[in-house]
Structure 1
Amino acid sequence: MDKKMYKKISKAGGITIPSIIRHSLNIPKGAAVELIADEEKLIIKKHIPTCECCGSAENVKVINQVELCHGCAMKFMKGGAGNGNDN
């Protein structure tokens, strides 16, 4: 989909992503998106949760507002350093 659409920013500073765009990108209501400011562009991307320790996108959960994969979460629970590397 390469359609140009115009949306006004609300008084609260928000913008609504039109449902036709959300549906085409499989972004459900309430989903997180990434905002990237690039010179004169604002890029809105579908957020793919990734582990903040090892960078994995497999089995990632949000725990206390931190994205962790199952392996790193288990290391933290066991008291390990949790850097994602088994050195």
Structure 2
Amino acid sequence: MKHTPFTLEDIAILMDQKLQPIKDDLSLVRTDLSKVKEVVEREFKLIRQDIQRVEGKIDLLDQQVAESGEYYEERFTKLEKRTGVSV
């Protein structure tokens, strides 16, 4: 059996040294992905808030249109009775 000049501990240290840049890169990637996730979640939250705001405005407009329709319907009915002309 041929002896190697390196012990298992030496080989482990060398492997750790070679793998450290990869570990560092993976750590950076994890950090970047975490930041991206935070930004995406924040943007979706803002989008949901905007959608709720728009839906609220649509509901208000629907209500105003309904009230206006009732108001003018009453006026048209009175006008029809007065003039005999169907509007």
Q: TM-score range by the shorter chain?
A: under 0.3
User: Larger helix proportion, structure 1 or 2?
Assistant: 2
Which protein shows a greater Rg? 2
Choose between structure 1 and 2 for higher RCO, CA contacts under 8 A separated by at least 6 residues: 1
TM-score using structure 1 length: 0.21
TM-score using structure 2 length: 0.21
User: Larger strand proportion, structure 1 or 2?
Assistant: 1
